[in-house]
Structure 1
Amino acid sequence: MERRTELGEFLRTRRARLRPEDVGLPDYGGRRRVPGLRREELAQLAGVSAGYYTRLEQGQSPNASDAVLDAVARVLQLDDAERAHLHSLARPRPKARRRPRPEKLRPSAQILIDSLGDVPALVIGRHGDVLTWNRTAHALIAGHLPFDAPSHPQDRPNVARLVFLDPHTRELYADWRAKAKDTVADLRLSAGRFPEDPELTGLIGELTLRSVEFASLWAAHPVHSCVPQHNTREVRHPMVGSMTLYNELLELSHADGQRLAVFTAEPGSASAAALQLLSDLSAGEPLRHEPHTLAATEGPQREAPSPRRP
């Protein structure tokens, strides 16, 4: 999608969610032709002309000042992540760069994952690809996939593909809808941050075509950063049952969007016991860099298609 088109859609969705009374304007009743604030109303509150705001929404004001963008963000009641996204979309698209190289994991990041022992931990790349995981994280979120898949760029599991295309993941999250919305919001932010990344563009196109739910959420233009963030997830694991897990997500420094995700449970709780049981059960998995055999990936437990391949 062209950047100016995406800017217009973003601003229109944010106008549509506000009512006149939300921003201190009188509501004279009657049916409004469009939901939410009118362009003229937003322009007046932001201190710009209606014509200027219209050009901004149409992507025809690439030199809009920070002050104008901040005024629009204030009227639209954008949060910090949405404000940053607006600034990103309103700027001219940078010149095309060479195709980005495949993501690589820093050796120190792998050492960090290994040092966490039984605590489920993984590193997620800028496209949502899993770059590495330990045994317990693999067993927790994608035990039906080969453990060494992150070692092969062409086979790396992708968080968004898992959420929207993999039936195992859909069953894993008790509140799948919340997880799906968070995934799309984070992907929106990544698309604004890496507009020239063809793999990211291809991923968005694929999910839009293959998942009606993704397409619907994407059209709503949710935006928020997943890092740094902590949340609580209710999961229903097929091996150890239901668990309440804390999920911490932190961005790795100087790693171009790579993030560390860690799952923990309340000490002494039934969830902690279930997580420890899962770790014990996963101890017999093949080593990370051992090639998996055909026999290990076939059979009844592999009947669901891999989310990595169409």
Structure 2
Amino acid sequence: MDKGALQGLLRERRALIAPEEYGLTRPSRQGRRAPGLTQAQMDQLLHRAYGTYNRLETGSYPNPPEELLRDVARILAFNEHDWTLLWLYTLHRDPPTCLHPRSGTEVRGAWQDVVEGMSHVAYITDQSWRLVTYNRAFADIFPGRRVPSNTMRWMLLEPEAREILMGWSEYWLPMVLPQLRAGIAALPGDETLLAIEKDVLADPEAGPLYESGGHSYIHPDGDERPLNHTLLGPGWVSLCTAEPLSSPRARLMIMVFRPGKERRHAGPSILRAT
């Protein structure tokens, strides 16, 4: 536990919250009064015993439960960056889930400029694989540049995908299905993913493989797979995946396409700092 950093984070954010926002009043006793909520008021809002919040802020609460951290973050109006810091300072690891449900559905507007400025195929999907933004190179993959609204649904269920994603049953389906399963495990109430799962289970080819459990696989980063490009013909794509840090579970996908029947690697398989 990084006690100094934790105390600084919580004190700073607590000072920004006026008690009046929660129907409380500022202490009336004489003497210096720090701005914002008091520690006692935090206990009151948290519905915890007196002194609970003080133990957390001073770093005297070993292994605080997620429920307490989430309640503190909610009261202090944390964003996802604050939420991550809270976990790093208290438990030295990233949070297991987002703080705000909407975080995985929104991406900062600057990412559109990033995606449009790339020469390789590039696009961003949200936590439910709904398409957020993409560049022209991505649209060129599809006949008539008719891009799908949800890339997960398209990859698993659209007949067109089984032509464009060459070797669909060998190179794509076994790798994409576990991504769907992992997505639902992380977001069990996601209506978009549950609807895709329902249709996958009804599919005569995808359904049995999905029910069997398939591969242990949750992301395509670093893969190379065959693809039949609508304009450029057959080739291979190298898949690179990243996550906008302010939008947990959203994903940036970059596909480096190389035409030709033979699989090719652009460089060393592993890069390291020198």
TM range (shorter): 0.5 to 0.7
Q: Tell me whether 1:182 sits opposite 2:183 in the alignment.
A: no
* Alpha-carbon offset, residue 240 of structure 1: 2.1
Alignment partners' CA distance in 2, 1:99 and 1:255 = 10
| Inter-CA distance 99–198: structure 2 relative to 1 (3 Å threshold) | farther
Alignment check: 8 A CA contact 1:236 1:242 kept: yes
Give the structure 2 partner of residue 110 of structure 1: 112
- Corresponding residue for residue 219 of structure 1: 211
Gaps in structure 1 of 5+ consecutive residues: 1-93, 148-155, 272-310
**CA deviations over 1:61-118 (Å, ceiling 9, x no partner):** xxxxxxxxxxxxxxxxxxxxxxxxxxxxxxxxx9xxx9869923321221210221x2
Structure 2: how far apart are the matches of 1:240 and 1:206? Answer: 31
Cα distance, 1:171 vs. partner?
A: 0.7
CA change 1:246–1:165 in 2 (3 A) is same
Structure 1 residue 237 and structure 2 residue 238: aligned?
no
- Counterpart in 1 of 2:253? 261
Which residue of 1 is the match for residue 157 of structure 2?
165
Percent of residue pairs identical: 16
CA contact (8 A) 1:100 1:197 kept: no
Bigger Rg, structure 1 or 2: 2
Q: Secondary structure at the match of 2:222?
A: strand
Please give the alpha-carbon distance, in whole angstroms, between the structure 1 residues aligned to 2:234 and 2:192.
35
- Equivalent residues of 1:125, 1:257 under 8 A apart: yes
Tell me: higher relative CO, structure 1 or 2? Use CA pairs within 8 A at least 6 residues apart.
1
User: Which deviations, in whole Å up to 9, do the C-alpha atoms of 1:231-270 show, x marking residues without a partner?
Assistant: 111112243221122111222213131111111146xx76
SS in 2 for 1:167: coil
Q: Does 1:194 align with 2:187?
A: yes
RMSD between aligned residues: 2.8
Q: For the structure 1 residues 100 and 202, does the alpha-carbon distance in structure 2 shift closer, same or farther, using more than 3 Å as the test?
A: farther
| C-alpha distance in 1 between matches for 2:190 and 2:230 | 36
CA contact (8 A) 2:227 2:234 kept: yes
Is contact 2:129-2:152 (8 Å) kept? yes
The whole-number CA distance in structure 2 between the counterparts of 1:102 and 1:260 is 12
Secondary structure of 1:234's match?
Answer: strand
Q: What TM-score does the superposition give when structure 2 sets the normalisation length?
A: 0.52
> Helix, strand or coil: the match of 1:256?
coil
Show the 5 A alignment for 1:1-310.
Answer: 103-116=105-118, 118-140=119-141, 142-144=142-144, 146=146, 157-177=149-169, 178-209=171-202, 211-222=203-214, 223-226=216-219, 229-265=221-257
When normalised by structure 1's length, the TM-score is 0.46
Unaligned runs of 5+ in 2: 1-96, 262-274
Check 1:238–1:112 CA distance in 2 against 1; reply closer, same or farther (3 A cut).
Answer: closer
| Higher helix fraction (1 or 2) | 1
For the 8 Å contact 1:99–1:198, the answer to whether it is kept is no
Q: Deviations over 1:22-72 (max 9, x none)?
A: xxxxxxxxxxxxxxxxxxxxxxxxxxxxxxxxxxxxxxxxxxxxxxxxxxx
